[in-house]
Amino acid sequence: MLIFACIAATVIAFIEVSSFLHKGDRSRGGLSYPFAFALLLALVGYSYYLSLVASIPYPLVLAGLVVVPGIALALYAVRHHDRSWSLPTFERPGRVLLLLVGLLAATLPFNKQIYRWGDWDAWAIWNLHAKYLFYPEYWTNLFTNKLVKTHPDYPLMLPSLVAYMWRGVETATPLAPMILAHLVYFAIPVTVFLGLTRFNYVFPAVVALCVFALDTKFIEIARSQYSDTLLAFFILIAFVMYKETQQGIDRRLFFLLGFIAGSTTWVKNEGALFFLTFSFAVLCFHFRNFRTILHYAAGALLPFLILVHFKVVYAPANDLIHAGRGTDLLDLIVNPDRYGLIITYFFRTGFTYYSVVLVLLTLLLIRKIAFVKSLPMLVVGLLLSGYFVIYLTTPNDLEWHLSQSIERLFHHIYPACLYLLLLKVSTHSPGFKTVIV
Amino acid sequence: MRFLYLASTVLLVSIIWLTINKYRDLASPGAYTEPDHLEELLADVKKKLPPGASLGMKANVAPDRVDMLYFKSTLVLAPMVVELAERDTMLILEEPGLPPLALDNYERIVSGGNQELTYRVVHLKR
């Protein structure tokens, strides 16, 4: 019985959030769905965590998921005298057909590769954490030094989502994390496609679909059931939403942008670096508009408070930040061999797995398209610098650390970079614009 | 226009059908991976020990394999707390072909196994 309540509450909440977003800017069309999906993931993740903290019964979490977006919709209706109710629509069926062909092509390799419980980190960290969150009476067992090898300081978005699904079906089935990985994997090409076709850039959108469907590294990381693809999705949504703010139609978007950017901190610790750099860039580019900054900060407040609560009350110290080092840090920083090794790994990984991004960058340079003085470029540049500093100061063996994580760090920004570069190339190529399909 | 709607519906149904079939395969015992086999193996441990129990773990296998078995058995036994160290209550996992671990001061609570892996839960003698 609970499973039906869980499915019904989740679907109703998704419809409510989609409708809420659609009211703000109807020209956005189907792009409101990926936004709604990201917002719903964040809402479910936070609701489930808060229900554990406050010992709230699961049925009340389901009720809250329906009631909270419902209240937001009602408030909007009263404030804007808009009592109509509608969902985002896809105006052009030809584009839907293209998208579905791309999704079918992406489904085949993903289905071939996915298996129960996923790769090492999936069962050693993410699903393991979810298993503790599945038991509301014992979930704090996770935060003991005895389990330090499973990194209990890692944020809880993915484990909360998995545990939420497990509570719905009342058993810890491995199908739940697989379904979640599948949905997030689908959401990325859908977001990029809709983000580009929203401006009638159909050809670049099809190129993006082909890249995602054929990219074995992207599929390999997505099907591993790690939280890296979830983080990549939130980072992508942040950039697509930022682009939407430039349209100037939906004034709520900076609030939602703050919420999405803040929510990356709840997915992975690397999300905190993204949130810092993104917020810094927003501040730099919009410091003259106090209202915009205020909206962004208000949106980011809840994710920030929840993260602080988790880190202060429950999470043990992080192994990279609290390694108890002092003088040896200077030795690491002044060692030129470390710089060489990191640069080598950066280039090798870029050329081996993310050559599409490099090709697009080259195209921008050849066509002398200015892209350096933009918010996205500042964020990506600062993020890469941040990754560099993390590797430079890592207490772990540098080569081991690089080999274990650099592909996944690049994976976090890969869909966003693809979207941003295709958008930039398209903006300066009028031939890419089509309204036929 | 009608063709576009029809083709879209066919594609959507194909994606859903392919995915449901895949998940049906993944739900069958033929798709089980090691955590599932450990779940079956350690079912009696979950019955004997309370969910809030805390226990140590040892295995008579290579260090990499010990780590793997540790994480997988922690996943299976959660919300119990399993620690890769010697404690009053211990979970001992052993591969039958390798020399067994000697634990003289402990008494057995529950044991079992199959051809690939055996287990013992032992407690320090009073």
| pLDDT of res. A79 | 87
* pLDDT value, residue A323: 60
Q: What are phi and psi of B83, to 5 degrees?
A: -120, 140
Whether residue B25 is found in the same domain as residue B36: no
| Contact predicate A411/A229, CB 8 Å | yes
Burial of A337 (0-12, 13-18, 19+ CB in 10 A): exposed
Same domain, B27 and B49: no
List the domain range (segments joined by +) for residue B17: 1-31
Q: What is the pLDDT of residues A11-31, one digit of tens each?
A: 999 999 999 999 888 888 899
**A-chain residues near B68 (CB < 8 A):** 120
Residue A296 binned pLDDT confidence (cut-offs 50, 70, 90): very high
Same domain membership, residue B22 and residue B38: no
**pLDDT recorded at residue B89:** 92
Q: Are B44 and B21 within one domain?
A: no
Q: What is the DSSP letter of A363?
A: H
The β-bridge partners of B120 are: B92, B111
Q: A321 falls in which pLDDT band (50, 70, 90)?
A: low
In the prediction, which pLDDT does A174 show? Answer: 95
Least CB-CB distance to A107: which of B5, B15, B75?
Answer: B15
Q: What number is the average pLDDT over the span A66-70?
A: 94
The residue assigned the tokens 């998995």 is A162
**What is the SS3 assignment for B120?**
strand
Average pLDDT taken over every residue of chain A: 92
Identify the pLDDT of residue A98: 95
Neighboring chain A residues of B36 at a CB cutoff of 8 Å: 116-117, 174
pLDDT digits (tens, 9 = 90+) for A99-110: 999 999 999 999
DSSP secondary structure, A9-56, as one string: HHHHHHHHHHHHHHHH-GGGGGGHHHHHHHHHHHHHHHHHHHHHHTT-
Token duo for residue A328:
């040896």
Q: Are residues B5 and B37 in the same domain?
A: no
* pLDDT confidence of residue A429: 77
pLDDT of residue A99: 96
pLDDT digits (tens, 9 = 90+) for B72-123: 999 999 999 999 988 999 999 999 889 888 888 889 889 998 888 999 999 9
Count structural domains, chain B: 2
Q: Are A143 and A179 in contact (CB under 8 A)?
A: no
- Chosen from B3, B13, B14, B15 to mutate, greatest number of chain A CBs within 10 A: B15
Do residues B69 and B7 share a domain? no
Round to whole Å and give the CA distance between A231 and A319.
21
In DSSP terms, B89 is beta-bridged to B123
Same domain? For B54 and B101 the reply is yes
User: Is the CB of A146 less than 8 angstroms away from the CB of B81?
Assistant: yes
> How many CA atoms are closer than 13 Å to the CA of A380, on its beta-carbon side?
24
- Name the residue with higher pLDDT: A327 or A307: A307
CB contact under 8 A, A104 and B72: no
User: Are B23 and B45 found together in one domain?
Assistant: no
State the pLDDT confidence band at B2, using cuts at 50, 70 and 90. Answer: confident
Q: Give the pLDDT confidence of A71-110 residue by residue, as tens digits.
A: 999 998 888 887 888 899 888 889 999 999 999 999 999 9
Higher-pLDDT residue of B4 and A385 is: A385
User: Is the sign of the CA dihedral A38, A39, A40, A43 positive or negative?
Assistant: positive
Q: Are B62 and B11 members of one domain? A: no
DSSP A65-81: HHHHHHHHHHHHHHHHT
Shared domain for B20 and B43, answered yes or no, is no
Q: Give the global pTM.
A: 0.95
Residues of A in contact with B79 (CB under 8 A): 131-132, 134-135, 137-139, 141-142
B71 vs A150: CB contact, 8 Å cut-off? Answer: yes
* Residues B75 and B39 grouped into a single domain: yes
Q: Looking at residue B85, which CATH number applies to its domain?
A: 3.30.2300
pLDDT of residue B58: 93
Q: Tell me, yes or no, whether B46 and B69 share the same domain.
A: yes
> What is the predicted pLDDT for the residue at A325?
65
Q: What percent of chain A is modeled with pLDDT above 70?
A: 97
pLDDT at B123: 92
